Structure 1
């Protein structure tokens, strides 16, 4: 209703000005009064033409080169208009309904059409932030030179652009028993292949009843236990700490790089990502699985209402000991360190990647906790963005 009243007022203003100038010329006479009337008449008629213009019949198209990018890339958006017929002396403003995450300073562009029926413009967004960005509509506004009549229409055109996290080419190596800084227990636990017994030994407390070799026990007149071949598991599960932190983008970049490097090597790799939502990806490999992980990382946020330690208490009990766990976090707390130490005592050691912006970002308390974890046999690596490429072949 308000738009209709506004439209009526605008048309009434134009007709009123034409009437006033005509009346003035009729009663006053002379060159000046008629010059004013005839000078304004083309603009007044153009304004009335704009008021009657079928704006909804304009054909609006948006062209985006690709629907997927990586963080930091440049996005080019081309918008074109095709008018059913031209209007002389008119301005058209094209306004893109940008996604909030892009926060463009240039939100619209106005150009004089004159006698043109087609118009195109290009917007550039750089650098692109990580996320899923939805372009929902384009607003077209037509007005005359004096702004007497203003007519607008919105064209719903939805395009979705997914910006995947940036990654670095990481040199992948299964983290073994040694780091440059000294010895540490392997982060990849051993598990027994129950289908293949390779020998027998004396029974010790804690051996399962099903492991007893009854024939050997009868011959030696004491309990003997089967010995099984022990194999290392290459399966990896990455736990992404989504506790609010200013270093979350660096953590996502590291996680994406780690996942990509492992899967490219053929390693079965999974992801635990718990925040306001919960996503658990089982350990798999392949390009489709990697694409699924990257899509999640494109949209995830540091919005966990619970600390990492509490999440680990709930989630880690569901995974077998044969899976190697890598924790990606930017802050090491006493509660988390105590829980990881408890995991180590239960033969679930894993690896901790502590992400910092630079070497000076590690607090003294965190350095003490890092040393404490290393003494417990938990490999703990402090990694800055400059060190991501070599984080798996050396640490600090």
Structure 2
């Protein structure tokens, strides 16, 4: 927050004090020359008010202990967030009112009614004051909160007291996601890829650790070295083997940032988040590219740390108004790992994108294309391109939301 110039503040305070003294001298002169009960009563009344105002100007605002509570736990887009501000005073300053404003970033301020983060407290003897405001349906993104702004003044507004208490906090709201149950992209149904025996599994998996032997475990799985150290039978634990890698490519370009296209963009973020969560649940290796004006590429990996990196990126990413997704995809296509299943999520489908998909299909790359519906914005040529993708052998889904299972059910009914 920008601090006012100290010299200018001192000049204004001096002028206000001179004004009060001038009023006092004027009333005193009036009483001396006019005489009578009324004039002297007016003089003593004004004198009391002047003394109170000067005392008010001299007494500091005091020391405050201010806290902000936003609750605990991760925030998911669409959830309600309640913010509670508490102000504790060491001694009851005699204010006529106390205005308290939680200074928050513009992106968060746009999601609440005007002045919703502000509260005015009127004269009270309480040493602890508290108020709350609510963000009914918070959007995904990174938000910043800066501090609490306190303000009060005398009854005439001549002497104002202000104090800013810095409480910097950041809030990361994660995208919403949907559980995926019906999608078979991550499963192997062909007999050639099924693991026919536990011996083969043990050959191609890596040892994750050891545990105590229980009846029914194979004797060939016993870890004899650990058994010798522990003086009891220990058996090997193996990591789950998955023979495929999955690369999610998200079109971060939004040509026109109108409401339907931005909603489709956000639903695309939900879909990508759902795929990432599902991949982590199934212990799959997954990579993520967000391509637009600014590109971000996360290589194939697995595990909780990798999931956190991807979800954090999806929480912060913003739509690009410039750039060309197809040209960006062409730049990166040589970096697509061999044997990778590609999942493209986009709110648009252009001729250039169709050409790139044809190239990947010609290289025997399995492609899943998810087109986010933009509502009333219809494009007959886009519909023809979408059908062409299906004809070429790629899996294609048209989604009105971020729920992939719902789109699969709809396609199954066609």
1:65 positional shift: 1.4
1:89 positional shift: 4.7
Contact residue 270 and residue 402 of structure 2 kept, 8 A: no
For residues 377 and 4 of structure 1, do their structure 2 counterparts lie closer, same or farther at Cα, with a shift above 3 Å needed?
same
Q: How does 1:152-171 map to 2 (within 5 A)?
A: 152-171=162-181
Partner of 1:216: none
Q: How does 1:207-246 map to 2 (within 5 A)?
A: 233-244=243-254, 245-246=261-262
Contact residue 265 and residue 372 of structure 2 kept, 8 A: no
CA distance in 1, matches of 2:25, 2:244: 87
Pairing 1:391–2:401 present:
no
Q: Pick from 348, 357, 360: which aligns with 1:343?
A: 360
Q: Flag the structure with more relative contact order, 1 or 2, with Cα contacts below 8 A and sequence separation at least 6.
A: 1
CA distance in 2, matches of 1:22, 1:116: 38
Partner of 2:86: 80
CA distance in 1, matches of 2:283, 2:409: 18
CA offsets 1:222-246 (integer angstroms, 9 cap, x no match): xxxxxxxxx9843211111100242
CA offsets 1:157-188 (integer angstroms, 9 cap, x no match): 101111111122232522389xxxxxxxx9xx
Pairing 1:248–2:265 present:
yes
How many pairs does the alignment contain? Answer: 345
1:386 positional shift: 7.4
CA distance in 2, matches of 1:263, 1:355: 23
For residues 116 and 268 of structure 1, do their structure 2 counterparts lie closer, same or farther at Cα, with a shift above 3 Å needed?
same
Contact residue 43 and residue 89 of structure 1 kept, 8 A: no
CA distance in 2, matches of 1:19, 1:120: 43
Contact residue 172 and residue 261 of structure 1 kept, 8 A: no
Coordinate RMSD, CA, aligned: 2.8
Pairing 1:292–2:298 present:
no
More strand by share: 1
TM-score computed with the length of structure 1 as normaliser: 0.78
CA offsets 1:77-119 (integer angstroms, 9 cap, x no match): 2222233433335221112211110224114222223444432
CA distance in 1, matches of 2:72, 2:94: 36
Q: Pick from 16, 25, 35: which aligns with 2:22?
A: 16
Contact residue 61 and residue 93 of structure 2 kept, 8 A: no
Partner of 1:70: 76
Q: How does 1:283-362 map to 2 (within 5 A)?
A: 283-303=300-320, 305-358=322-375, 361-362=377-378
1:297 positional shift: 0.9
CA offsets 1:246-270 (integer angstroms, 9 cap, x no match): 2211111121122212222222222
CA offsets 1:182-224 (integer angstroms, 9 cap, x no match): xxxx9xxx9xxxxx9xxxxxxxxxxxxxxxxxxxxxxxxxxxx
Q: Pick from 104, 124, 130: which aligns with 1:120?
A: 130
- SS, match of residue 252 in structure 1: helix
CA distance in 1, matches of 2:399, 2:42: 75
CA offsets 1:263-309 (integer angstroms, 9 cap, x no match): 22222222111344432222233333222211111110111632111
CA distance in 2, matches of 1:318, 1:65: 43
In the alignment, structure 1 segments of 5+ residues that lack a partner are 178-185, 191-195, 197-230
Pairing 1:373–2:389 present:
yes
Partner of 1:364: 380
1:334 positional shift: 0.3
TM-score computed with the length of structure 2 as normaliser: 0.75
For residues 164 and 283 of structure 1, do their structure 2 counterparts lie closer, same or farther at Cα, with a shift above 3 Å needed?
same
Q: Pick from 26, 34, 40: which aligns with 1:34?
A: 40
Contact residue 50 and residue 151 of structure 1 kept, 8 A: no
CA distance in 1, matches of 2:182, 2:63: 57
Contact residue 171 and residue 393 of structure 1 kept, 8 A: no
Partner of 2:205: none
CA distance in 1, matches of 2:180, 2:249: 18
For residues 238 and 304 of structure 1, do their structure 2 counterparts lie closer, same or farther at Cα, with a shift above 3 Å needed?
farther
Contact residue 132 and residue 161 of structure 1 kept, 8 A: yes
CA distance in 2, matches of 1:76, 1:41: 47
- SS, match of residue 101 in structure 1: helix
Pairing 1:3–2:9 present:
yes
For residues 295 and 43 of structure 1, do their structure 2 counterparts lie closer, same or farther at Cα, with a shift above 3 Å needed?
farther
CA distance in 1, matches of 2:294, 2:380: 33
CA distance in 1, matches of 2:401, 2:182: 16
Contact residue 177 and residue 402 of structure 2 kept, 8 A: no
